[in-house]
A and B are shown apart, each in its own frame.
Chain A
């Protein structure tokens, strides 16, 4: 990884708003080629919104977000689809299509977007499932899989088109520590084997420190740090210290604000 290369993803004064409330308050960031960037933050920090914006599921209200040289804020539907064919997103709950088997889920983008022979697609599906350790489950329905397996299958589907950028939404959320560690290891393996850019959104500190080359810390829609894991550990920023040391918010005012937000 060299920092002289142009970033694959970058945001410039990126703002995103739901209704009247602004979630991301003018973010500037960049993700360099082949690095693993972890976006770390608590609930409601805007990290999921940032991820959704980077894959074009949310439109910026102002500012820009560039992925593979295209500004998603102004991209047309067909330009967006061109960008999307080169990225893969593994959703928090897997989001496998329930009416298709695991194998069909992985094959879906290949069948729709390539002209490969059916036999070639079958081989590719097996390779992807092999990489995530699900080769025996090709013909299972998503509902028959455990939470961890669903996430692995989602990773296989995200990798189907050999994307240049892989996104992970909360890869270890809701999993027991052993399975979660397995997913972290999977990400590390992919990083070594594929040399792709990886963006992971998580609130799990241990996982972030293990897999990240750099970490962006989001707090209430602001980036408060964009540093390496070692630098993050040494940070004296009070919010980061609070996050690292798992200290609860003492200001009752924060909670009241949140409640009011939900009541509206």
Chain B
């Protein structure tokens, strides 16, 4: 009985959290169209965020997805070799990177860099009364803080994902050239033939949904920070853990939907 009650309470908390997330994102998105603040200044803040969220993340995402491309090629080749189908390594890498690993790894790196930063920034602002200060200056905190982050995230996540896809394929090509008698040109051609537009679009749609989740969780955790600097640490941890969980969960849901609607 107690177990059931606990499950019920946890479900209720989970639903309330999702409700809070949707409400926050809804308000942030609405402010992107009808802003109570000056449009030019909001654009400045958004581009500043886009630099921090997107451009600065390029080096680390490049390295990680490059390595993952190599790893995927090695893993695939291990099995494919037994069937004498090592040439298919380009297909394997292309599809798993664009549909799955590109967006997912990008999402996780962005959580680590930016989701945590959102929670820490807003949490610190709450602790130091900066949030109250913004409010008493008649600047709505959601429009001032969340909307620029959301806009930056929705623009940068697909861009980063495309870049991650590319770097993953380049990583795969390194193995292709060394271990599977490809040249760089033939590997890219094989990749192009293996991919459908649908694979890439699937990944980009996922990445935008991840952008919503990461911004929402990071900012919501920041706003719910209690008093004291210790709480900022708690919010940051919670933002990262919750975002990773939700991103993987959303990934599962979307992958399942894409699988069921693909008709193959």
Q: What is the interface of chain A, defined by CB distance below 8 A to chain B?
A: 52, 55-57, 77, 80-82, 84-85, 87, 89, 91-93, 95-99, 108-109, 111-113, 154, 157
Question: Which single residue of chain B is at the shortest CB-CB distance from A81?
Answer: B138
- Check B16 for interface membership: any CB of A closer than 8 A: no
> Which residue of B121, B125, B129, B138 is within 8 Å of A92 (Cβ)?
B129
| Pair A95/B133 contact, Cβ less than 8 Å | yes
Closest CB in chain B relative to A98 CB, distance in Å: 7
Asked if A95 meets B138 with Cβ closer than 8 Å, knowing A112-B37, A112-B38, A112-B41, the reply is no
Write the chain A residue with the least CB distance to B135: A57
CA distance A91 to B132 in the complex (A): 9
Instruction: Please tell me if the beta carbons of B138 and A93 are within 8 angstroms of each other in the complex.
Output: no
Collect the chain B residues with CB atoms within 8 Å of residue A89's CB: 133, 136
CA distance A95 to B134 in the complex (A): 9
* Residue B250 is within 8 A (CB to CB) of chain A in the complex: no
Contact B139 A95 (CB under 8 A): no
Determine the residue in chain A with the shortest Cβ distance to B124: A98
User: Least Cβ distance of B130 to chain A in Å?
Assistant: 5
Knowing A111-B38, A112-B38, the reply to whether A98 touches B136 (Cβ < 8 A) is no
In the complex, chain B residues whose CB is within 8 Å of the CB of A52 = 132
| Chain B residues within 8 Å of A55, by CB | 136
Q: How far, in angstroms, from A97 to B124 measured CA to CA in the complex? A: 10
A113 touching B130 by the CB < 8 A rule? no
Total contacting residues, chain B, CB less than 8 A = 19
Q: Give the residue among A92, A97, A99, A113 with the most B Cβ atoms within 10 A.
A: A97
Q: Confirm or deny: B3 has a beta carbon within 8 angstroms of a beta carbon on chain A.
A: no
Among A77, A85, A95, A109, contact of B130 (Cβ-Cβ < 8 Å): A95
Cβ 8 A contact of A93, one of B121, B129, B137, B139: B129
Known: A91-B129, A93-B129, A97-B130. Is A84-B38 also a contact (CB below 8 A)? Answer: no
In the complex, B56 has a CB within 8 A of chain A = no
Does B23 touch A at the CB level, under 8 Å?
no
Q: Closest CB of chain A to B224's CB: distance in Å?
A: 16
With A98-B124, A98-B128 as contacts: A87 and B133 at CB distance below 8 Å: no
Measured in the bound complex, the distance between the Cα atoms of B136 and A82 in whole Å is: 11
Q: List, in ascending order, chain A residues with CB within 8 A of B130's CB.
A: 95-98
Docked Cα-Cα span, A87 to B132, in Å, equals: 14
Identify the closest chain B residue to A97 (Cβ). Answer: B130
A108 touches B137 (CB 8 A): yes
Residue of B nearest to A55 (CB): B136
Distance A133 CA – B130 CA, assembled complex (angstroms)? 22
A163 to B139, CA, bound (A): 16
Chain B residues with CB under 8 Å of A80's CB are: 138
Are A84 and B137 neighbours in the complex by a CB distance under 8 Å? yes
**A-chain residues with CB within 8 Å of residue B37 when the two chains form the complex:** 112
A56, B37: Cα distance in complex, Å: 19
In the assembled complex, 28 residue pairs joining A and B whose CB atoms fall closer than 8 Å, in A order, are A52-B132, A57-B132, A57-B135, A80-B138, A81-B138, A81-B140, A84-B136, A84-B138, A85-B138, A91-B129, A91-B132, A93-B128, A95-B128, A95-B129, A95-B130, A96-B130, A97-B125, A97-B130, A98-B125, A108-B139, A109-B138, A109-B139, A111-B41, A112-B37, A112-B139, A113-B138, A157-B133, A157-B137
